[in-house]
C-alpha cells in the first residue's frame, strides 16, 4: 500500500476503513472486522474522533452479522457517546438504527421500532439519510420489525420513538448501556 510506504498514517487508516467497507458489502464480515479494527487503532492514535466513531459503528454492524449482540451493543454505545460530543446527527441516527438491530435480534421489536422512529425523525430533521454502509442494515431492521409487530403496535412504537427528544433518548441509552 502506497500510504504505508509513505508512512502516511491517516491515508493508511482511511484506506483500511474503505477496504473494510468493501468486504462488509460483500458479506465477508471476519475480514472486514480485521480491517476496521486496524483502522480504528490508527485513528485512535492520530486522534481522528469522527473516524473513530465510524469505525466503532462499523464494527458494531459487523458484530450484529456475527451474532455477537453484546459486543455490538457495547460498540454502538461507545460510538454513540463520541457522536453525541461531535453532534453528528447522521451518525447518531445510524447508531440508533444499529441499536435497533440489537433490540430486534434480542426479541424486543417494540424497542427496536421506537429506536428506528427516533432515527427516522432525526434523519428527517437534519435532511440526511443513513450512512451508505448501514442503509441495507437499516432497511433489514425495519423489515424485521414490521414482520414481528402488528400494524397498531408498530405504529404506536414508531410514533413514540419519533416524538422522543433526541438528547433525552441518547442520554438514557448511554446510562443504560454504561457509556
37 inside domain: no
23 inside domain: no
Decide if 59 contacts 75 (C-beta within 8 A). yes
Residue 163 belongs to domain spanning: 48-177
107 inside domain: yes
What whole-number distance in Å separates Cα of residue 160 and Cα of residue 149?
15
90 inside domain: yes
Q: Specify the DSSP class assigned to residue 164.
A: S
63 inside domain: yes
27 inside domain: no
57 inside domain: yes
Q: How far apart are the first and last CA of the chain?
A: 36
Task: Find, among 117, 111, 164, the residue nearest to 138 by Cα.
Answer: 117
43 inside domain: no
Dump pLDDT digits (tens) for 113-171: 999 999 999 999 989 887 676 788 889 999 999 999 999 999 999 999 999 998 888 88
Distances (CA, A) of 120 to 123, 147, 151: 5, 18, 18
Q: What's the domain count of the chain?
A: 1
Dump pLDDT digits (tens) for 6-42: 466 888 999 999 999 999 999 999 999 999 999 999 9
Task: Find, among 74, 73, 71, 41, the residue nearest to 55 by Cα.
Answer: 41
Looking at residue 166, which CATH number applies to its domain? 1.25.40
Dump pLDDT digits (tens) for 55-94: 999 999 999 999 999 999 999 999 999 998 998 888 899 8
pLDDT score recorded for residue 90:
87
pLDDT score recorded for residue 87:
87
Cβ atoms within 10 Å, residue 178: 10
Residues contacting 111, CB < 8 A, separation 6+: 100, 103, 157
Distances (CA, A) of 148 to 7, 104, 144, 151, 175: 50, 9, 6, 10, 27
Amino acid at each position: 500500500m502506497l500510504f504505508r510506504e509513505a508512512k502516511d498514517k491517516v491515508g493508511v487508516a482511511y484506506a483500511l476503513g474503505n477496504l473494510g467497507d468493501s468486504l462488509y458489502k460483500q458479506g465477508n464480515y471476519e475480514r472486514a472486522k480485521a480491517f476496521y479494527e486496524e483502522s480504528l487503532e490508527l485513528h485512535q492514535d492520530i486522534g481522528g474522533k469522527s473516524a473513530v466513531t465510524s469505525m466503532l459503528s462499523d464494527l458494531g454492524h459487523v458484530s450484529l452479522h456475527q451474532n455477537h449482540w453484546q459486543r455490538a451493543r457495547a460498540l454502538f454505545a461507545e460510538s454513540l457517546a463520541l457522536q453525541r460530543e461531535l453532534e453528528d446527527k447522521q451518525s447518531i441516527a445510524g447508531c440508533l438504527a444499529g441499536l435497533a438491530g440489537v433490540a430486534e435480534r434480542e426479541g424486543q421489536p417494540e424497542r427496536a421500532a421506537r429506536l428506528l422512529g427516533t432515527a427516522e425523525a432525526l434523519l428527517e430533521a437534519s435532511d440526511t439519510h443513513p450512512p451508505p454502509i448501514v442503509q441495507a442494515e437499516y432497511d433489514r431492521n425495519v423489515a424485521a420489525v414490521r414482520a414481528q409487530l402488528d400494524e397498531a403496535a408498530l405504529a404506536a412504537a414508531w410514533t413514540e420513538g419519533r416524538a422522543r427528544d433526541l438528547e433525552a433518548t441518547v442520554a438514557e441509552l448511554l446510562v443504560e448501556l454504561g457509556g
